[in-house]
């Protein structure tokens, strides 16, 4: 007898829940709204990963493999971060990312400020960065060629800087 009463109560509760459930159309609308809010660009995801310590190496590898649009979005946030990492320890992986980044990078004044900040602390790093930029995109030095000339310590690199024409156009190398 008790079992039948319990079963009847359960049926009543289920029937009431079914009546109170929202229609499927409203559920779809709610899900779409949630998806629109949750959408993020790949650049934001990569920046978040870099900021967390346990995802740092994964994010660096992702940056190395990401497309040029994502790199273009990341260029201003990630360049100072990479330079700071190079100050702490040199890594071939970071140099590879810098190669890809300088293809897309177009802010000449900021690059000069970063190089100027290394003037008294790390001259070798300046030489390495200038060498990378001369190979990939010498147009970044079109406005500040003389100032950068004075920052360089290596004589061979100074001659190379004098010989190259620093054209304003972005030279894109397909690799």
Extents of the domains making up the chain: 41-105, 107-174
| Residues 157, 5: Cα–Cα separation, whole Å | 92
Q: What is the pLDDT of residue 24?
A: 59
How confident is the model over 94-138, as pLDDT tens digits?
888 888 888 888 888 888 888 888 888 888 888 888 899 888 888
Please determine, for residue 160, whether its predicted confidence score (pLDDT) is greater than 80.
yes
Structure tokens at 17: 């829940």
| Residues 158, 147: Cα–Cα separation, whole Å | 12
pLDDT higher at 47 or 130:
130
Average pLDDT, the chain: 76
Compute CA distances 63 → 29, 42, 92, 100, whole Å.
Answer: 35, 10, 14, 9
Compute CA distances 1 → 6, 12, 85, whole Å.
Answer: 9, 17, 75
Q: What is the pLDDT of residue 30?
A: 47
| Residues 170, 139: Cα–Cα separation, whole Å | 6
For 141, residues 6+ apart whose C-beta sits below 8 A from its C-beta are 108, 130, 133, 134, 148, 161, 166
| Residues 92, 154: Cα–Cα separation, whole Å | 21
């Amino acid at each position: 007898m008790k079992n039948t009463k319990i079963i009847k109560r359960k049926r009543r509760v289920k029937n009431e829940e079914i009546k109170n459930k929202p229609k499927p159309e409203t559920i779809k609308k709610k899900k779409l709204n949630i998806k629109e809010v949750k959408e993020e660009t790949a650049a934001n995801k990569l920046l978040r990963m870099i900021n967390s310590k346990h995802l740092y190496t994964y994010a660096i590898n992702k940056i190395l493999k990401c497309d040029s649009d994502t790199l273009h979005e990341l260029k201003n946030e990630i360049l100072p971060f990479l330079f700071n990492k190079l100050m702490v320890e040199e890594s071939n992986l970071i140099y590879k990312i810098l190669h890809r980044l300088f293809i897309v990078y177009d802010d000449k004044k900021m690059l000069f400020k970063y190089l100027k900040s290394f003037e008294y602390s790390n001259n070798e790093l300046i030489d390495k960065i200038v060498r990378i930029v001369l190979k990939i995109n010498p147009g970044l030095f079109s406005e500040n060629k003389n100032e950068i000339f004075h920052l360089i310590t290596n004589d061979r690199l100074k001659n190379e800087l004098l010989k190259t024409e620093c054209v304003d156009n972005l030279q894109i190398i397909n690799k």
